């Protein structure tokens, strides 16, 4: 098949870049900064994708294909240039072209813009899925928000986290195409009135609303080695045209600007909390903003080739990434019923057949619930529709489950109480045809423990799609040396189909390959050492074991358990400076939600501990602790290839899937983990003997909870544990501030140790005895690490997307031919 990428030459690329330099930035090569060159080269690369982009959109339109619309409040994309260069197959061509711009690829890539439009795993998952969808030649659209400020930049001030605004758009974003012609209005506030309309009778009319606008910015998503170029459509809010001109004319300038600001603020900033629910009005408007303009954009596109809605659900599936875009369900009902005058039952049928919902968490504090008061004020008509959906749903239930009040209360969309609340997860389940969890364990817990009543009401609606990661970013791009070794041994085909990496297993016992594997790991560690030096000033040895815990900071993820382990080791050394201990570098990277105070205390604790341990002569470099600031996708790409140990130690039953676990294992780190989320399936794939599983299982913790868990009992049994906890309680790291970490101590003792730190402490310590012993024999370590790499093929996001296609979306591959 003809490939548009084949015509890309170094001359063409360089010429395009110089054109952009001259005509977009008004400079010649002599005056150009490195940023200018990066920007112009990125524009040139984007130009190369345009033919594919046009051909792809044309084909979808002409063939009237069924499409998936992925709605997500977050896309944690990271840098895009290197990824796109790989996808276009122009790695060598780019090197050649950049010579003509007097700059190296490395210099350019370092300056690429980091798109951090997400908090963590959920947003990164959305980015991986877009990559897989394009590569698998599937008709897909991503919908999201173009936040002016993505996830905050993290700095440390005296060990405490400080948040600084992310200014990713300050110098322009080369990958986006603004589309003002597709601007849509969005309305909020107002009231509902009954009106009589001839032919329709009495209808509810939403009026006196305030209007603003959504402008789409499209980011091309280039498939790897194929012609498909899909798009991610990001919406930016702005005041409606001619906004408040009346006020303006009367000279009330300040008021008009204030009102203008209101509209701009909607997409100003990403809410930096994850796994917590805030209930803020602006966030509600943000969620509705995404839901509303995405739904109406999908309808607009559908109407290009259809005169009625009879095929809407056949041509579109809308996947909700968590409950954040739930209002899309209500918005589609509103458009079909109110605007298109469709009878309720018909509109509802189309709606349910269009939507599918992915649940991401079982944590109670993360479940979205909006008070009826707020919803009524911001979206009065939508609140009415939600009541109507609930009314009809409960009425039907009364027929099938007469008199079952407990069931009704559990599944109702409305939670009764002093303040009535709308349960967004319930609305999603009722309004979707499929509901999936994100790992086998999580999906099972969702179905049987969190929503058993819904499983009874809707047998067969719940299913599982285990998360995945794109190996194109998380191996090919981030770990070129390991990629080269694998290709040397098994050829290149595995790059297109990660399941083929399996045959690399045959080399796990080969001494020369083990040696080469460990050399590559060491090279990657040397590279990371430079980054660590730059970011923290700390000198660490690439010959120590790199023990890595990188993820959002959360009590359920238990960074604090790692801290307890490190304090334990430190105290062993202090008690006997000659004690034999595996030389280790403990690497943390994590952002805490700005309002999550105890998580921020844990950051301070790690930094305080690092300060003392790194400079204690008794330790003599055997233990090093580094906390790398500002964890993001690019930093992850540098840390992961250098990791020996992957810490996945969440409280069993609470990590829905995890994807960091997959990235690390694919890069040959051995997992130390609980039986939680996708760790369960990773263990099944890599083999129990190639992973370190420890700690209480979900059902064991359940039993502890019901019997009455007593953290003190574990303290009484273990002097080591006592010493560790007292070190935190009394802050041995800074005697001038003895009370600094009392809250942390109280949390895991008096306040009941909700996340079972004390119950899992001893098993964790014991587990590391095995880890350390294995690390002493590099050949055995390498064998297991290689087996991890070779057996992780199943965790490609291509497999996840295939599961979605087979079980939920029923989408067909649509290859793009170039004419
Ligand atoms: C993969 C990734 C995550 C998710 O990590 P978990 O360990 O699964 O929580 C979060 N942030 C970034 C930047 C990532 O790349």
pLDDT in tens, 190-237: 999 999 988 888 899 999 999 999 999 999 999 999 999 999 999 999
Q: Is 698 marked active-site?
A: no
378 and 441 housed in the same domain: yes
CA of 221 to the centre of ligand 1 (A): 21
119 and 57 housed in the same domain: no
451 and 496 housed in the same domain: no
Whether 458 has a pLDDT exceeding 70, the answer reads: yes
Please choose, from the candidates 301, 326, 267, the residue with its C-alpha nearest in 3D space to the C-alpha of residue 57.
301
pLDDT tens digit sequence for 758-796: 999 999 999 999 999 999 999 999 999 999 999 999 999
Q: Is 33 marked active-site?
A: no
Which one of the listed residues 557, 558, 562, 622 is annotated catalytic?
557
Q: Do residues 137 and 222 touch, judged by C-beta distance below 8 A?
A: no
Taking the C-alpha atoms of residue 388 and residue 390, their distance in angstroms, rounded to an integer, is: 5
Using DSSP, how many helices (H) and how many strands (E) does the chain show?
A: 33, 25
Strands 692-693 and 670-673: parallel
pLDDT band, very low/low/confident/very high, at 252 (cuts 50, 70, 90)? confident
CA of 124 to the centre of ligand 1 (A): 7
For residue 690, the enclosing domain spans: 480-696+764-789
CA distance readout (Å), 702 to 578, 656, 679, 710, 756: 42, 16, 19, 13, 11
According to the model, what pLDDT value does residue 147 have? 98
Q: Is 551 marked active-site?
A: yes
Does a structural domain hold residue 819?
no
pLDDT band, very low/low/confident/very high, at 259 (cuts 50, 70, 90)? confident
92 and 134 housed in the same domain: no
CA of 510 to the centre of ligand 1 (A): 33
> Number of structural domains, the chain?
3
Which one of the listed residues 551, 591, 604, 696 is annotated catalytic?
551
Does a structural domain hold residue 629?
yes
Whether 148 has a pLDDT exceeding 70, the answer reads: yes
Average pLDDT of the segment spanning 486-498: 97
Does a structural domain hold residue 768?
yes
According to the model, what pLDDT value does residue 1 have? 58
156 alpha-carbon distance from chain centroid: 24
Pocket test for ligand 1, best of 79, 116, 119, 124 (most atoms within 8 A of CB): 124
According to the model, what pLDDT value does residue 197 have? 86
Give the residue carrying structure tokens 């690439």: 542
Average pLDDT of the segment spanning 371-379: 98
Whether 381 has a pLDDT exceeding 90, the answer reads: yes
CATH number of the domain residue 455 falls in:
3.40.50.2000
Average pLDDT of the segment spanning 106-118: 95
100 and 119 housed in the same domain: no
Average pLDDT of the segment spanning 333-356: 97
According to the model, what pLDDT value does residue 245 have? 59
- Residues with Cβ within 8 Å of residue 103, at least 6 apart in sequence: 34, 37
Taking the C-alpha atoms of residue 458 and residue 397, their distance in angstroms, rounded to an integer, is: 11
Whether 248 has a pLDDT exceeding 90, the answer reads: no
CA atoms within 13 A of residue 250's CA, in its CB half-sphere? 7
Bridge-partner residues for 319, per DSSP?
70, 356
- Which residue ranges have their beta carbon within 6 Å of ligand 1? 76, 120-121, 124, 551-552, 631-633, 636, 658-660, 663
- Residues with Cβ within 8 Å of residue 186, at least 6 apart in sequence: 211, 212, 213, 214, 237, 288, 289, 292, 293
Average pLDDT of the segment spanning 25-48: 94
Q: Do residues 522 and 561 touch, judged by C-beta distance below 8 A?
A: no
Bridge-partner residues for 463, per DSSP?
436
Percent of the chain scoring above 70 in pLDDT: 99
Does a structural domain hold residue 711?
no
Percent of the chain scoring above 90 in pLDDT: 94
pLDDT tens digit sequence for 386-410: 999 999 999 999 999 999 999 999 9
pLDDT band, very low/low/confident/very high, at 247 (cuts 50, 70, 90)? low
Does a structural domain hold residue 707?
no
Q: Whose CA is nearest to atom 9 of ligand 1?
A: 551
9 and 137 housed in the same domain: no
According to the model, what pLDDT value does residue 621 have? 87
The neighbour count for residue 513, using CB atoms within 10 Å, is 20
Q: What is the DSSP string of 635-689?
A: HHHHHGGG-SEEEE-PPTT-----SHHHHHHHTTPEEEE-S-TTHHHHHHHH-GG
Which one of the listed residues 67, 360, 516, 591 is annotated catalytic?
360
Taking the C-alpha atoms of residue 296 and residue 299, their distance in angstroms, rounded to an integer, is: 5
Helical axes 34-63 vs 10-23, angle rounded to 10°: 110
For residue 78, give the ligand 1 atom closest to its CA: 13
pLDDT tens digit sequence for 704-737: 999 999 999 999 999 999 999 999 999 999 999 9
Whether 263 has a pLDDT exceeding 80, the answer reads: yes
122 and 109 housed in the same domain: no
CA distance readout (Å), 498 to 113, 489, 642, 794: 28, 15, 21, 7
Whether 243 has a pLDDT exceeding 90, the answer reads: no
CA of 118 to the centre of ligand 1 (A): 10
89 and 223 housed in the same domain: no
pLDDT tens digit sequence for 537-594: 999 999 999 999 999 999 999 999 999 999 999 999 999 999 999 999 999 999 999 9
pLDDT band, very low/low/confident/very high, at 6 (cuts 50, 70, 90)? confident
For residue 636, give the ligand 1 atom closest to its CA: 15
Whether 260 has a pLDDT exceeding 80, the answer reads: no
Pocket test for ligand 1, best of 120, 631, 662 (most atoms within 8 A of CB): 120
The neighbour count for residue 684, using CB atoms within 10 Å, is 13
39 and 68 housed in the same domain: no
The per-residue pLDDT of the chain, averaged, comes to: 96
Does a structural domain hold residue 11?
yes
Which one of the listed residues 663, 696, 791, 799 is annotated catalytic?
663
Taking the C-alpha atoms of residue 571 and residue 562, their distance in angstroms, rounded to an integer, is: 14
The two tokens of residue 648 are: 């996945």
CA atoms within 13 A of residue 254's CA, in its CB half-sphere? 0
Q: Do residues 119 and 633 touch, judged by C-beta distance below 8 A?
A: no
Bridge-partner residues for 469, per DSSP?
796
- What is the 3-class SS of 152-191, one letter each residue? CEEEEECCEEEEECCCCCCCCCCCCEECHHHCEEEEECCE
According to the model, what pLDDT value does residue 276 have? 86
654 and 665 housed in the same domain: yes
Q: Is 46 marked active-site?
A: no
Taking the C-alpha atoms of residue 459 and residue 461, their distance in angstroms, rounded to an integer, is: 6
73 and 28 housed in the same domain: no
Does a structural domain hold residue 743?
no
CA atoms within 13 A of residue 136's CA, in its CB half-sphere? 26
Q: Which helix (H) or strand (E) holds 98?
A: helix 91-99
362 and 376 housed in the same domain: yes
Does a structural domain hold residue 649?
yes
The two tokens of residue 485 are: 């070794």
Q: Whose CA is nearest to atom 10 of ligand 1?
A: 120
The two tokens of residue 745 are: 């101590």
């Amino acid at each position: 098949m003809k490939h548009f990428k084949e015509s890309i030459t170094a001359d063409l690329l360089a010429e395009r870049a110089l054109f952009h330099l001259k005509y977009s930035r008004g400079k010649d090569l002599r005056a150009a900064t490195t940023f200018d060159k990066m920007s112009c080269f990125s524009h040139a690369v984007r130009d190369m994708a345009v033919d594919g982009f046009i051909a792809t959109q044309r084909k979808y339109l002409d063939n009237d294909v069924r499409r998936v619309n992925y709605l997500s409040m977050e896309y944690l994309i990271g840098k895009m240039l290197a990824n796109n260069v790989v996808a276009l197959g122009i790695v060598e061509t780019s090197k050649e072209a950049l010579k003509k711009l007097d700059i190296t690829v490395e210099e350019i890539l370092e300056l690429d813009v980091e798109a951090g439009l997400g908090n963590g795993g959920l947003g990164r998952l959305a980015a991986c899925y877009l990559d897989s969808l394009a590569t698998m030649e599937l008709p897909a659209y991503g919908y999201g928000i173009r936040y002016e400020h993505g996830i905050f930049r993290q700095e440390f001030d005296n060990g405490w986290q400080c948040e600084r605004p992310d200014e990713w758009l300050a110098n322009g974003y080369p990958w986006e195409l603004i589309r003002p012609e597709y601007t849509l209005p969005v309305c909020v506030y107002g009231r509902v009135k009954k009106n009589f309309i001839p032919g329709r009778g009495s209808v509810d009319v939403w009026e006196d609303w305030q209007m603003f606008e959504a402008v789409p910015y499209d980011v091309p998503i280039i498939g790897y080695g194929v012609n498909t170029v899909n798009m991610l459509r990001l919406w930016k809010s702005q005041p409606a045209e001619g906004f408040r001109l009346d006020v303006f004319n009367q000279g009330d300038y300040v008021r008009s600007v204030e009102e203008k600001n209101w509209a701009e603020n909607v997409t100003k900033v990403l809410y930096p909390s994850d796994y917590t629910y805030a209930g803020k009005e602006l966030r509600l408007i943000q969620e509705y903003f995404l839901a509303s303009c995405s739904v109406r954009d999908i309808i607009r596109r559908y109407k290009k080739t259809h005169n009625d809605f009879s095929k809407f659900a056949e041509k579109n599936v809308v996947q909700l990434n968590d409950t954040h875009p739930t209002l899309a369900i209500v918005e589609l009902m509103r458009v079909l019923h109110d605007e298109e005058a469709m009878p309720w039952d018909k509109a509802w049928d189309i709606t349910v057949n269009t939507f599918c919902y992915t649940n991401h968490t079982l944590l109670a504090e993360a479940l979205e619930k909006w008070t009826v008061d707020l919803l009524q004020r911001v979206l009065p008509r939508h609140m009415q529709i939600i009541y109507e959906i609930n009314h009809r749903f409960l009425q039907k239930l009364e027929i099938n489950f007469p008199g079952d009040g407990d069931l009704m209360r559990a599944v109702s969309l409305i939670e009764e109480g002093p303040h009535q609340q709308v349960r967004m997860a319930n609305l999603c389940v009722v309004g979707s045809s499929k509901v999936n969890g994100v790992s086998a364990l999580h999906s099972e817990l969702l179905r049987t423990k969190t929503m058993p009543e819904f499983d009874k009401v809707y047998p067969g609606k719940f299913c599982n799609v285990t998360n995945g990661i794109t190996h194109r970013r998380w191996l090919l791009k981030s770990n070129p040396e390991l990629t080269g070794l694998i290709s040397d041994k098994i050829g290149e085909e595995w790059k297109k189909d990660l399941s083929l990496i399996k045959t690399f297993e045959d080399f796990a016992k080969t001494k020369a390959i083990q040696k080469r594997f460990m050399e590559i790991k060491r090279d990657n560690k040397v590279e990371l050492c430079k980054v660590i030096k730059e970011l923290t000033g700390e000198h660490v040895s690439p010959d120590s074991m790199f023990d890595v815990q990188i993820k959002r900071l959360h009590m359920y993820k238990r960074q604090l358990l790692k801290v307890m382990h490190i304090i334990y080791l430190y105290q062993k050394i202090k008690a006997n400076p000659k004690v034999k201990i595996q030389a280790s570098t403990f690497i943390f990277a994590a952002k805490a939600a700005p309002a999550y105070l105890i998580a921020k205390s844990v950051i301070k604790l790690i930094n305080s501990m690092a300060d003392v341990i790194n400079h204690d002569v008794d330790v003599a470099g055997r233990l090093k602790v580094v906390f790398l600031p500002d964890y993001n996708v690019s930093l992850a790409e540098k840390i992961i290839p250098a990791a020996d140990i992957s810490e996945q130690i969440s409280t069993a039953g609470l990590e829905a899937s995890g994807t960091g676990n997959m990235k690390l294992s694919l890069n040959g780190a051995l997992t130390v983990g609980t039986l939680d989320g996708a760790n369960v399936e990773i263990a099944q794939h890599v083999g129990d003997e190639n992973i370190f599983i420890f700690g209480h299982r979900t059902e064991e913790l359940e039993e502890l909870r019901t019997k009455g868990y007593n953290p003190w009992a574990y303290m009484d049994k273990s002097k080591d544990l006592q010493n560790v906890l007292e070190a935190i309680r009394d802050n041995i790291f800074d005697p001038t501030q003895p009370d600094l970490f009392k809250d942390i101590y109280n949390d895991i003792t008096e306040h009941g140790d909700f996340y079972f730190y004390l119950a899992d402490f001893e098993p964790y310590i014991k587990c590391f005895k095995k880890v350390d012993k294995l690390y002493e024999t590099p050949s055995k370590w390498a064998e297991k690490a290689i087996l991890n790499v070779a057996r992780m093929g199943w965790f490609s996001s291509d497999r996840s997307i295939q599961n979605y296609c087979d079980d939920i979306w029923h989408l067909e591959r649509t290859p793009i031919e170039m004419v």
